[in-house]
Chain A
């Protein structure tokens, strides 16, 4: 079985500041890792994914994440956030795309002026 932990339920940050959203996973087998963003009353949009290969993954909207196997982490980062980045962010893991996604509890990113 696998699990995903997002340590921060809310992260407040000022515009143009850097941000890191933390995600840790546990799994007895190799996993695929994902970060999604959700705006109010909308579905989930994929920011980036790690399937294999380079541990630094670049996604859309200037986000990136680093897969760290030894620390079982997949933290999401952005060097300079914008007001429009205010949303809910979910980390998720699966053992294959025919398998279900296991979600973390989500992190609310609140960007203010």
Chain B
């Protein structure tokens, strides 16, 4: 139980285009989901907290117009990287929790490469 599915696992896009990444909780409802970014050989950096039915809460320094987050249902949150540039290339990971006793479950990540 407590599975989070993330799609796609990798994507290559041209500079200037937009890319959407999906994060789904498969067997539980998640009112809150988290989006992280990870640079090579570094830790995870929280980008934003996605809240079902309301606006996401972005961490300081994260451009909300560039990284659009939508959490339209209790099982799906999406991250759209708009007008992507090579510096947006990174590993993006989502996370959610079915409840305190379960802790947090992470998606398998999305490797974004912008060329």
Residues B106 and A100 in contact, CB atoms below 8 Å apart: no
Report B-chain residues with C-beta under 8 Å of the C-beta of A51.
100-101, 103
Which residues 68-100 of A have a CB within 8 angstroms of B? 90, 94, 96-98, 100
Residues A46 and B103 in contact, CB atoms below 8 Å apart: yes
Set B6, B42, B46, B100: member contacting A43, Cβ < 8 A? B6
Describe B's contact surface by its main secondary structure: strand
Closest residue on chain B to residue A48 by CB atoms: B103
CB distance from B102 to the nearest CB of A (A): 8
Residues A105 and B34 in contact, CB atoms below 8 Å apart: no
Residues A44 and B93 in contact, CB atoms below 8 Å apart: yes
Alpha-carbon distance A96/B46, docked complex (angstroms): 16
Residues of A within 8 A of B (CB): 32, 34, 36, 41-46, 49, 51, 90, 94, 96-98, 100-101, 103-106
